[in-house]
Amino acid sequence: MADTNTAETSVHPSEAEGVAREPLVLNNRSMGWITNRICGIVENRQPLIWWVLFVPSVALFGCLLFTLVYLVSTGVGVWGNNQPVAWGWAIVNFVFWIGIGHAGTLISAILFLTRQKWRTSVNRASEAMTLFAVMCAGIFPGFHVGRFWMVWFLAPVPNANGIWQNFKSPLLWDVFAVSTYFTVSVIFWYIGLIPDLATLRDRAKKGLAKFLYGFFALGWRGGNRQWRHYEMAYLLLAALSTPLVLSVHSVVSFDFATSVVPGWHTTIFPPYFVAGAIFGGFAMVLTLMLPVRKLYGLEDLITAKHVDNMAKIILLTGTIVGYAYIMELFISYYGANKFEADAFHLRILSGPYTWAYYCMFFCNVIAPQVFWFKWCRANFWVVFIICNFVNAGMWFERFVIIPTSIARDFLPGQWGYYSPSWVEKLMFLGTFGMFMMLFLLFIRFLPVIAASEVKGVLPENDPHYPDWKKLREKRRSAA
């Protein structure tokens, strides 16, 4: 998977200031080439590997449906939850998937507001990944209540039973935070799709595809007035999404931080959870986009510069997560709370889940440190392997936080051991099947890269570029 493409000599606007930077689109590709390459993924037949991945994903999704039907018809007792471990894999997997869903909005919103142009090649796929991850996450708390057809009682609507929600509960805060985040993310993703949907509409032959692309393109014609309203709407949605990135996983962390359970009751959880979510989300983006880049020949659009930047963000957030791990240990010692000290003693020295803690620490703190070296960030196989370590490590982190903190209660008579049942294991694998199935369908029917945004970072569209008008005329005459 190592990158073998080299960029042709081209001038970047920053060269006028004496600083040479790598171009964001290699080999002086034209707008027409970008359109053909990105739209061609949707218009052409999918390669064999797409089917090799899609069929098992559908099979795993079928396993998910089977486990959900079995769970509802039999009861949540088929899970491995016991006394005192009332929260098991269901909440572990919920927090895991919610964390993965953070990178999409971060890339799209925060990097957009800070004018980071390198985001344009990866924002569309990361936004889609966000939606699919949140959909997977919502399954677990929805079915964790047992009678999932009564989940609508979580919404603050009047009902005949006179039952109102407990607005003091962080579990209810989750409902509002996650549902708001999902709604805004869907709108943000869809607004960004509109210009590219219009391009697919204009290129499609008459039939169902042309009708559907035209319907969802909302009459887009690319006029100046439409672009002006589009850019303003995109900016406002980016500004609205930015606080959601920080708030959603902070609210999720309140599920634990507002309790009195040793190992959960800590004020570092909100920033720690947010940094961990960005950390795991970027790792999942690279895990998905590196194979897509190779499979569909997108080396000129997703360059070594994009991978290098995301690897640096993984290194930064991984270091923040490592700081949080060490600070937890320090506070358990410095706080002089014997219950807190015993909880971390069992977690790292003598408990039954010690192995999970060291797996977490290695995957999340030690493994990403190789990104200090440029040759590691430039070797895409190394990046891919480290990202998978991070994916595994972030799941172990949630497992370490949740079951291990409550498996040893205040009284020895309340000590227990939790192990997941086959239903929980198959359900978790099924969510991966659902996630991959949705992502592969997204690649098949929608542009995986925002073509309209990538064109905006070409030299001929940058007024600060030397002789940008001459280059634009040259492109037009060549076309």
Q: What residues does each domain of the chain span?
A: 30-457
Residues 386-418 pLDDT 10s? 999 999 999 998 888 888 888 777 777 778 788
CA nearest to 360, candidates 402, 325, 316, 310: 325
> DSSP code of 364?
I
CA dist., res. 224 & res. 404, Å (int): 58
Q: Are 305 and 24 in contact (CB under 8 A)?
A: yes
What's the pLDDT band for 10 if we cut at 50, 70, 90? Answer: very low
**Matching residue, tokens 């039954």:** 352
Q: Are 383 and 368 in contact (CB under 8 A)?
A: no
- CB neighbour list of residue 336: distance below 8 Å, 6 or more residues apart: none
CA nearest to 403, candidates 363, 369, 357, 350: 357
Asked: is 30-457 a CATH 1.20.1630.10 domain? The reply is yes
pLDDT given at position 468? 56
* Residue 199: CB atoms within 10 Å: 19
CA atoms within 13 A on the CB side of 461: 14
CA nearest to 274, candidates 246, 251, 252: 246
Q: Percent of the chain at pLDDT above 90? A: 21
**Least reliable range by pLDDT among 23-27, 244-248, 430-434:** 23-27
Task: Find the distance separating the first CA and the last CA of the chain, reported in whole Å.
Answer: 33
Compute CA distances 324 → 265, 300, 327, 343, 449, whole Å.
14, 38, 5, 16, 35
| Summary count for the chain: helices (H), strands (E) | 19, 0
CA dist., res. 129 & res. 106, Å (int): 12
Residue 255 confidence (pLDDT) above 60: yes
- CB neighbour list of residue 216: distance below 8 Å, 6 or more residues apart: 190, 193, 194, 197
Q: What is the mean pLDDT of the chain?
A: 83
Residue 479 confidence (pLDDT) above 70: no
Encoding tokens for residue 303? Answer: 């360059």
What's the pLDDT band for 6 if we cut at 50, 70, 90? Answer: very low
CA dist., res. 145 & res. 434, Å (int): 21
Q: Are 37 and 298 in contact (CB under 8 A)?
A: yes
Residues 41-62 pLDDT 10s? 888 888 899 999 999 999 999 9
Task: Please return the burial class of 135, using the count of CB atoms within 10 Å of its CB with bins 0-12, 13-18 and 19+.
Answer: middle
CA dist., res. 478 & res. 460, Å (int): 14
CA nearest to 146, candidates 66, 73, 88: 73
CA dist., res. 120 & res. 111, Å (int): 10
Residues 110-163 pLDDT 10s? 888 888 888 888 888 888 998 999 899 888 888 887 777 877 777 777 666 667
Residues 85-113 pLDDT 10s? 888 888 889 889 988 887 777 778 888 88
